[in-house]
Amino acid sequence: MSKVNAKRHAMEKKSSDQESKKLNQIIFHKHLKRVYPIGLQKSSSSSSISSFSSSLSQNSNDPCFTDSLTIADEEVSLALHSISPRQRREHTLINISQQQQNQHAAELGELKRCSWITKNYKAYIEFHDECWGVPAYDDKKLFELLALSGLLIDYNWTEILKRKEVLRQVFAGFDPYTVSKMEEKEVIDIASATELVLAECRVKCIVDNAKCMMKIRREFGSFSSYIWSYVNHKPVINKYRYSRDVPLRTPKADAISKDLLKRGFRYLGPVIVYSFMQVAGLTIDHLVGCYRHKECVNLAERPWKHI
């Protein structure tokens, strides 16, 4: 190969590599917006699942009813830390005066939030300020957050929040016992609700997961005891400065996902599980510059209460 041709070949290869890298970054950010509470745009179709979403629910021959671990999941180390005695944290509230100060600051637009928050979505701001990252210990609340996180396969958080109240109504306030007893007719009725736009397989998935949760409650006393044991009954406190630093999944999420799927849960891949961990406060991923980071850390560091 002549020097001229070799130089031309090298330049073409460099250009191709740069285009490939740029395309991968675009694809990554596209999926990041859906899974994390960063995405505020409507998805192109409420019933379609992106190629990345299929990895969240795991590859299967029947995508509506069968889940299996991806090759990447199988390669993740499954070693777990020692399980501590069953403990639960008491429900605590932020100091009333502090809440009033924050509310007043919010009205004046002075509060600094995570960089992905915009002022155009009031319900989304409330979700960030009041729910996301707050440690949840009640089984009903945990089941609700697990079910809502599972819907990230089809929707982003903004779209899910628009349906939250209707979802609470049709799923009996997300009481796992009641949902676990739902029969085929109820599943079809919920799937037929035009305001939800949920596929029947998604509804059946929530019902089946409720049944799996009831089995865990019989084994561990509560789903809360089971799920919190993975983080030694104390939230993982992260100190990310930028949204790009927040991971899509972690080895801990991989381990939890693998065990949940082994127990019969569906559509709970590592990315979905990590989204659940974030919203349920098992991991605190508010950026350090966000006013909620300190408040959620204070909640996480309160003394334990044995129940």
Q: Is 64 annotated for ligand binding?
A: no
Q: How far apart are CA 169 and CA 50, in angstroms?
A: 28
Distance of CA 287 to the CA centre of its chain: 16
For every residue of 141-188, DSSP letters joined together read HHHHHHHHHHGGGT--HHHHHHHHHHHHHHTGGG-HHHHHT--HHHHH
Question: How far is the CA of 103 from the CAs of 158, 286, 297, in angstroms?
Answer: 22, 18, 19
Amino acid type, 128: H
Q: Is 31 annotated for ligand binding?
A: no
Within the chain, residue ranges assigned H as helices are 3-35, 51-57, 71-75, 96-107, 122-130, 139-150, 157-170, 176-180, 184-192, 200-220, 223-228, 251-262, 270-279, 291-300
Q: Is 114 annotated for ligand binding?
A: yes
Task: State both tokens at 131.
Answer: 């729910």
Q: Is 286 annotated for ligand binding?
A: yes
The DSSP 8-state label assigned to residue 42 in this structure reads P
Residues tagged in the binding site annotation for Zn(2+) = 114, 128, 286, 290
Residues tagged in the binding site annotation = 114, 128, 286, 290
